[in-house]
């Protein structure tokens, strides 16, 4: 299938009216538009081929912080997959695995780990935990002790991934089945206290088209 391009806007703070980076799926500004982007949230875009064009225009009357853009080439015939075994990080691939440190061995005390997942714009993220899952807590609401927290967005200020769970935390040994974000971002937060460590967790995620979700 050849080479495709991936873009990630890491930091973006621009005026909607006066400063707008435009992304085109091809070698010129006459190629198919992918997005006109502004705001302050990270975003990821993908091309259908080996070329992508970014056009940035600014107005002399308004200034802003601008943007930081990462890009990389991807072999479209290969599976784009990430395995994150450390304590936190940024994941920009369409599929991946996040585990607590040392999994499936016991994690260490006093951990505070955060993972930020961003997939291609226009997709949502399917998430599920695999067994063994052992995150020790002293109550079923996961308010006392260790917990892994899933948020429907890029950081801790986002709402819980599963609205019916209140604080969005998971602990114990029986996590619920597959969950879905409402957009292309997911925040994973893992906390362990000073005692009662367990095996931890293994979380798999995958970017999904809304059309595929609606058909299942």
Handedness of CA 9, 42, 204, 212 (dihedral sign): negative
pLDDT tens digits for 141-175?
A: 888 899 999 999 988 889 999 755 668 899 999 87
CA proximity to 146, closest of 114, 110, 176: 110
Q: Is the CB of residue 81 less than 8 Å from the CB of residue 93?
A: yes
Query: Which structure tokens are listed for 2?
Result: 């050849």
Q: Could you say which architecture CATH assigns to the domain 81-215?
A: Sandwich (2.60)
pLDDT tens digits for 124-145?
A: 999 999 999 999 988 888 888 9
What single string gives the DSSP state of each residue in 90-112? EE-SSEEEEE-TTTTSPPPSS-E
Residue limits of CATH 2.60.120.290 in the chain: 3-75, 81-215
- Domain 3-75: homologous superfamily in CATH: Spermadhesin, CUB domain (2.60.120.290)
Q: Tell me the average pLDDT across 181-186.
A: 92
Query: What pLDDT is attached to residue 77?
Result: 47
Q: For a pLDDT cut of 70, what percent of the chain falls above it?
A: 70
Flag whether pLDDT at 19 surpasses 70. Answer: no
Flag whether pLDDT at 98 surpasses 50. Answer: yes
Residue 214 three-state SS: helix
Query: What pLDDT is attached to residue 79?
Result: 43
Flag whether pLDDT at 200 surpasses 80. Answer: yes
pLDDT tens digits for 35-75?
A: 666 555 556 666 767 788 888 877 777 666 677 776 766 55
When pLDDT is cut at 50, 70 and 90, the band that residue 8 belongs to is low
Flag whether pLDDT at 107 surpasses 80. Answer: yes
């Amino acid at each position: 299938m050849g080479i495709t391009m991936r873009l990630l806007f890491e930091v973006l703070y621009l005026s909607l009216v006066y400063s707008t980076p435009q992304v085109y799926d091809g070698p010129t500004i006459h190629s198919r538009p992918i997005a006109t982007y502004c705001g302050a949230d990270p975003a990821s875009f993908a091309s259908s081929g080996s070329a992508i064009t970014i056009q940035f225009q600014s107005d002399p009357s308004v200034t802003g912080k601008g943007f930081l853009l990462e890009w990389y080439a991807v072999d479209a015939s290969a599976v784009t997959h990430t395995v994150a075994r450390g304590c936190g990080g940024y994941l920009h691939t369409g599929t991946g695995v996040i585990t607590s440190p040392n999994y499936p061995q016991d994690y260490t005390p006093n951990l505070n780990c955060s993972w930020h997942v961003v997939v291609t714009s226009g997709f949502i993220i399917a998430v599920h935990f695999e067994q063994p899952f052992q995150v020790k807590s002293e109550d079923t609401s996961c308010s006392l002790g260790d917990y892994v927290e899933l948020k429907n967005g890029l950081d801790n200020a986002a709402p819980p991934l599963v609205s019916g769970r209140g604080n969005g935390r998971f602990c114990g040994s029986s996590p619920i089945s597959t969950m879905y974000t409402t957009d292309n971002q997911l925040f994973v937060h893992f906390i362990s206290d000073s005692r009662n460590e367990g095996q931890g967790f293994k979380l798999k995620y995958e970017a999904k088209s809304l059309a595929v979700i609606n058909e299942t």
